[in-house]
């Protein structure tokens, strides 16, 4: 069985082992690929039966030009880079990794929130620059320090990741409210209060986006909905950048309506030089790294290998185009 890894570097920059995958067939690895380069994807997959991809585009053209392709394993939860409908027409199962980063992503959300409230990075820099040595006082802070206990943490999305985030916020003494299209008993047992969207926007002191991208939530953080929020709200997004109208958020940051934004995702990735959030006040942007802990990536590797084993045994799992 010939297996191609089209773009494996971000999943495994060298700290994981490909050996479990190698046990399943003849494996060829590539580190990186152009995010829209169909021809390069065609060249790499070639006559392979199994393609293991991350962000390599597998379009109708790719599928038509890779006639031996029988199975596509996506090393991620999102699979929008694959034409899953056409793959199904061709009898090619596409499998993803549905749950691997709950702890890592929720941990990162809390880290963004704590940075917004305490500005630890900024104050570390000022100490190293000599400000404390020359301070007339024995301590100082350049931003208001925010205590979270008693404040309301709002979740736009309360699935597997949201529940972990809610649990951490509760431990900090926050009241957690959430909007989700389904209301899990596990979240209710944790004490999460489910509300409608307008209530979520109006009541949240901190609003975290932790929902998969869907038609209804594209651009949901826009000037109309920001206007419904509290003055000084903190907005966190390590879900999908397309949920935010970036110019509207930048305007709200610059006006002070939004006190701080902590973002791990933007609408076009890698980020473009003209993104208005790059020059907005009080905005931290990290390079879509919430998911990237070694433990999280090991779970991706393990699930991908298991997905291929299940396909080879005739009982595919985690199929997104059944």
Residues assigned a catalytic role: 240, 269, 288
- Which sign does the torsion angle of CA 86, 87, 91, 93 carry? negative
Which H or E run contains 5?
strand 2-5
Give every strand in the sheet of 26-29, ordered side by side: 26-29, 2-5, 50-53, 71-74, 94-95
Q: What is the 3-state secondary structure (H, E, C) of 197-233?
A: HHHHHHHCCEEEECCCCCHHHCCCECHHHHHCCCCCE
Residue 171 CB contacts under 8 Å (≥ 6 apart), including other chains: none
Cβ burial, residue 225 (10 Å; 0-12/13-18/19+): middle
CB 263, CB 286: distance < 8 Å: yes
> How far apart (Å, rounded) are the C-alpha atoms in residues 243 and 287?
16
Residue (of 168, 190, 194, 166) closest to 180 by Cα position: 194
Question: Which strands form 175-179's sheet, in the order they lie side by side?
Answer: 193-194, 175-179, 152-156, 206-209, 233-237, 258-263, 283-285
Q: Residue 241, SS3?
A: helix
The token pair that represents 293 in the structure block:
């802990």
């Amino acid at each position: 069985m010939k297996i191609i890894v089209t773009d494996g570097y971000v999943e495994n920059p060298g700290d994981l082992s490909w050996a479990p995958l190698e046990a399943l067939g003849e494996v060829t690895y590539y580190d990186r690929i152009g995010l829209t380069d169909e021809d390069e994807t065609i060249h790499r997959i070639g006559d392979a039966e199994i393609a293991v991809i991350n962000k390599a585009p597998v379009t109708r053209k790719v599928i038509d030009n890779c006639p031996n392709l029988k199975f596509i394993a996506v090393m991620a939860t999102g699979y929008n880079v694959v034409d899953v409908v056409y793959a199904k027409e061709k009898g090619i199962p596409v499998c993803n990794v549905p749950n691997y980063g709950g702890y890592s992503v929720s941990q990162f959300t809390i880290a963004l929130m704590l940075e917004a409230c305490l500005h630890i990075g900024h104050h570390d820099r000022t100490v190293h620059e000599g400000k404390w040595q020359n301070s007339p006082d024995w301590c100082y802070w350049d931003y208001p320090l925010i205590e979270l206990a008693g404040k309301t943490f709002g979740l736009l999305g309360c699935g597997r990741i949201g529940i972990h985030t809610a649990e951490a916020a509760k431990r900090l003494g926050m009241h957690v409210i959430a909007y989700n299209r389904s209301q899990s008993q596990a979240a209710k047992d944790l004490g999460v209060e489910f509300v409608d969207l307008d209530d979520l926007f109006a009541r949240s002191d901190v609003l975290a986006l932790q929902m998969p991208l869907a038609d209804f939530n594209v651009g949901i953080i826009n000037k109309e909905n920001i206007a419904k929020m509290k003055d000084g709200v903190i907005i966190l997004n390590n879900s999908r950048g397309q949920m935010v109208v970036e110019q509207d958020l930048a305007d709200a940051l610059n006006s002070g309506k939004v006190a701080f934004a902590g973002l791990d995702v933007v609408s076009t990735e890698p980020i473009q030089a003209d993104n208005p959030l790059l020059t907005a006040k009080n905005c931290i942007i990290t390079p879509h790294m919430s998911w990237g802990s070694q433990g999280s990536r090991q779970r991706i590797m393990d699930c991908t290998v298991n997905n291929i084993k299940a396909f080879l045994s005739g009982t595919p799992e985690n199929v997104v185009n059944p």
